[in-house]
A and B are shown apart, each in its own frame.
Chain A
Amino acid sequence: MYLSGREHPIVDYPERKQVRFTFDGTQLMGLEGQPIAAALVDNGIRAFRHTHKTGQPRGLFCGIGQCSDCVVVVNGTPNVRSCVTPLEEGMVIETQHGLGKVGVRCE
């Protein structure tokens, strides 16, 4: 749950606009500009990808774009670091299985 609107003794969280996105086909609500990982956690989702060899779940780990444990597929592009990529209206986000397909669209 986004802490905005709840009282925090120190931080004034900014008001953010609600946006729609999908995760593995499920329609979800998030906040524009928050990291994708935060939107997923706010929706109760903690496993973002499954590993290449053994299919184990992985989620948020370093939170600042260094470790790559939290990568997801965004609009068809794999290996997007969900902890540092801002959420946008209409994003199609998917669990990443394995390493991501090589040679797919890259912006």
Chain B
Amino acid sequence: MRVTDLLVVGAGPAGLGAAIEAARLGAKVLLVDENLKAGGQLYKQIHKFFGSGAHYAGTRGFQIADILLGQAEELGVETWLDTRALGLLDDGTVAVLRKGKVEPVKAGKIILATGAKENALAFPGWTLPGVMTAGAAQTFSNVHGTLAGKRILMVGSGNVGLIVSYQLMQAGAEICALVEAAPQITGYLVHAGKIQRAGVPVYTGHTVVEARGTGEVEEAVIAQVDERFQPIPGTERALAVDTILLAVGLNPRTELAAMFRCQTTYEGALGGILPVHDGWMRSTNPDIYVCGDLAGVEEANTALEEGRLAGVHAACALGYHGEQAQEKMNALRESLRSLRGGAHALRRLSGKERVIEKGESAYV
């Protein structure tokens, strides 16, 4: 049995932020991640980030990962990779699977930063090899150096669809078209501008209706949609592509939180079902915090700030009161407010406010 002050599950931006801040205040932190490398999805983000200097704006995602991993190491955060948190045992310990063995971990507080998974989209032929998530192609190109497709149809004009299109072109693939069912581009127009000036046709009010091919994708059929997002017969058009990428949103990975009996709620703008939490990122179980995409799908910079907030609060709750802990938490909340302050984030902001309101009521 391993005993620690704080167990953090997931070493993406949220988990790293939490581990770093808690360790900074003196808490003994164990950080576990199921992957062979820490950093979560930051290593596949090769573009420069938005945000302010405090969120490493202008720095590329993989460079931010290097900075955070360096800080965690410097602060003595113990990190177990290739380690999966399986669930909560009856005695309140967390069972983790490490090197083929289950090891119980007893922690004063637990911070869940398990991230999100990409949504799928079902249409005839969608199970053919060559239909995959945008994130899969992004990981394979940017992290592993393998192009998962050469001639690509991108489905979805959110920031993921726009950025991944751009990055696959950087690696040498051709984006034959990008379709978006909504009547307008849903991601940042500056991201869209990058691929449009590189010649990618963006079809709004269109969706993919079929993937065709023998054994793998050889053709994609797109069609215009009506105001109820239904394909309009007669508008179908076939595109010769070998790959169809789905960038149709993400949803929080709530399995562990649910096993830990954290109360959940539904917020569409935040990705669907997610654990209720208060303004300090505490779930309805006072020993368990949630942060990052698990607590609502947003951006990497909001994930990092939420993680930091959870880390500081958890450390304080464990008795590690730093001198400026309260100021720091207030500053982090202000930072989160400002990251959600733009017109683009309105729906996310109101969703988050509802989640927090429910969370606060659990502590009245």
Sample of 20 A–B contacts (CB below 8 Å) = A2-B146, A3-B145, A10-B46, A11-B46, A34-B144, A37-B140, A38-B140, A38-B145, A41-B140, A41-B148, A46-B129, A59-B216, A60-B129, A61-B133, A62-B118, A62-B133, A63-B136, A63-B140, A84-B35, A84-B36
B127 in contact with A58 (CB, 8 Å): yes
Q: Which residues of A contact B136 (CB under 8 A)?
A: 60-64, 83
Assembly CA distance A57 to B172 (angstroms): 27
Besides A34-B145, A57-B215, A64-B41, 18 new A-B residue pairs in contact (Cβ under 8 A), listed by A number? A8-B170, A10-B46, A11-B46, A11-B145, A34-B146, A38-B140, A38-B144, A38-B145, A38-B146, A46-B129, A47-B216, A48-B129, A57-B129, A59-B132, A60-B129, A60-B140, A62-B135, A66-B117
> A-side binding surface: helix, strand, loop or mixed?
loop
| 0 or 1 for each of B185-224: is its CB under 8 Å from A? (1 = yes) | 0000000000000000000000000000001100000000
A62 in contact with B132 (CB, 8 Å): yes
A interface size (C-beta, 8 A): 35
Known: A38-B140, A46-B129, A57-B215. A10 touches B60 (CB 8 A): yes
Residues of A within 8 A of B (CB): 1-4, 6, 8-11, 13, 34-35, 37-38, 41-42, 46-48, 56-67, 83-84, 86, 107
Assembly CA distance A46 to B41 (angstroms): 24
Question: Which residue of B has the minimal Cβ distance to A2?
Answer: B145
B35 in contact with A13 (CB, 8 Å): no
B146 in contact with A3 (CB, 8 Å): yes
Q: Which residues of B contact A6 (CB under 8 A)?
A: 172
Assembly CA distance A62 to B41 (angstroms): 12
